Copies of this chain bind each other. A is one copy, B any other.
Amino acid sequence: MFDLRHQEMKANLSQLGLRQKSSDITRLMALAFQRPDILSLAAGFTDSESLPVEDVREIVQEISCLETEAKASLQYGPNIGRDALRSHLTSRIANCDLDSEAELQPDRLFITNGSQQALYLAVQTLCDAGDCILVEQPTYFVFLEILQGLGVEPIPMPMDDRGDVDLDVLRTVFEKAALDGSIEKIKAVYLVSYFANPSGHSISEEVKQALGELLTEFNSSIALLEDAAYRELYYEEAHPAKSALSIDSCCDLPVLYTSTLTKPYASGLKVGYVYCNSDEWRDAMLAVKGQQDFGTSHFTQAILERALLSGRFDRHLSELRGIYNRKMQALHRCLARSLLDLGWSWAIPEGGLYLWLRSPNGLPTGSESEFHKACLDSGVFYVPGDLCFVNNAQIDYIRASFGVLSENQLEEAAERFNRAAASVDRAIAN
């Protein structure tokens, strides 16, 4: 009998196909799935204990009793997303910005498969291979993977000591690019603006305003991509900065604002949203979305719409803020016990899912480093910070996620981490 198992056919891949390499995060996640003995501070999973199992059961039960809605939710929906959900989310952005709702229009908002798809559609419709996007340093490392996959070059923005874009230095970058013509290749600036992945940093309104002015001065067709995935995951208070959608200088630019219902509620539902102030650009993204999937799952949209409109979403989110605050504190406290004396440093975040640790004396933390091996040996795992820098330029950071582990597990993970740090410190001293 003819056997297919050992056949490996060679397809003739496209440029895009040939550019793909196995994703760092996919590899990390696969490792995390495979080694249950390891406590993972790596993957950005969300808190499992608090996942809204009962909410979702109730919502599905309620929907199943509404004849029209029950069937509609299991039928195809429009490519752009459910109307009521889009209206609610438009108001939600406006409320976060403390602006009147009338200024944002629901037909400029559409639903995506998590905010990840929104970022992908944005880059596809803005950039040809060889074009450039300016990114903060550090930045969301899966965004760098999107750029790599699409052949787009990330350009690191100069950063100041507070973790903000250094606008004076950026001006000189633009001046140079305007002179040599390379400014034409710059299609967008990507900002992770609230409790950023990985740094926890938020961008002030002043910086956004000044950045908008700078961009407008040099080339007002450069788009501003604002990734607000963690905006609502603050611990005690929302960050006061308005989004670029409501900041004067930015409104002279094409602005795309992305966020998600996934991290603040249930990551298994995978629903994100995007607001775009350029109709032509939005239409192009929607056309591509139509080709990619024809609309996000109508059923998960219906669940989230009901979670939002019934108040369950915000009740859950409010609980989650406390949970992540406690988890962050637990990890911070246990790491601080040993690491501060060893010369490690980090800021205490006010939202998000990550501690962004800097090792002492430039100690390398990459996946091939002694420190990384020491951590695996001691049974703990993290995202090497170099993945978050263009060309892995900075090698002495670590992203430690406290999203999925319990407080007890976080304490144990921190102890293992501390042991690894101490052993590497001793090895260096000897």
Beta-carbon contact of B8 and A293 below 8 Å: no
Q: CA of A174 to CA of B237 in the docked complex: distance in angstroms?
A: 66
Chain B residues with CB under 8 A of A3: 103
Closest 9 A/B residue pairs (Cβ): A17-B125, A20-B287, A11-B254, A268-B298, A57-B64, A11-B281, A74-B268, A74-B266, A270-B297
Beta-carbon contact of A22 and B283 below 8 Å: yes
Known: A2-B248, A53-B70. 5 other contacts (CB 8 A): A18-B284, A21-B287, A116-B292, A120-B291, A145-B291
Beta-carbon contact of A12 and B105 below 8 Å: no
Chain B residues with CB under 8 A of A5: 102-103, 105
Chain B residues with CB under 8 A of A150: 291
For A262, give the chain B residue with the smallest CB separation: B76
Chain B residues with CB under 8 A of A29: 78-79
Chain B residues with CB under 8 A of A73: 268
For A24, give the chain B residue with the smallest CB separation: B290
For A246, give the chain B residue with the smallest CB separation: B4
Choice from B14, B48, B61 contacting A75 with Cβ under 8 Å? B48
- Closest chain B CB from A40 CB (angstroms): 12
Q: CA of A279 to CA of B287 in the docked complex: distance in angstroms?
A: 30
Choice from B11, B18, B76, B294 contacting A278 with Cβ under 8 Å? B11
Beta-carbon contact of A51 and B74 below 8 Å: yes
Beta-carbon contact of A284 and B64 below 8 Å: no
Most buried by B among A61, A248, A266, A298: A266
Q: CA of A126 to CA of B13 in the docked complex: distance in angstroms?
A: 5
Beta-carbon contact of B128 and A16 below 8 Å: yes
Q: Indicate whether A149 sits within 8 Å of B288 (C-beta atoms), given known contacts A270-B296, A297-B268.
A: yes
Q: Indicate whether A71 sits within 8 Å of B53 (C-beta atoms), given known contacts A13-B284, A277-B7.
A: yes
Query: Is A127 on the interface with B (CB-CB < 8 A)?
Result: yes
For A44, give the chain B residue with the smallest CB separation: B76
Q: CA of A71 to CA of B72 in the docked complex: distance in angstroms?
A: 26
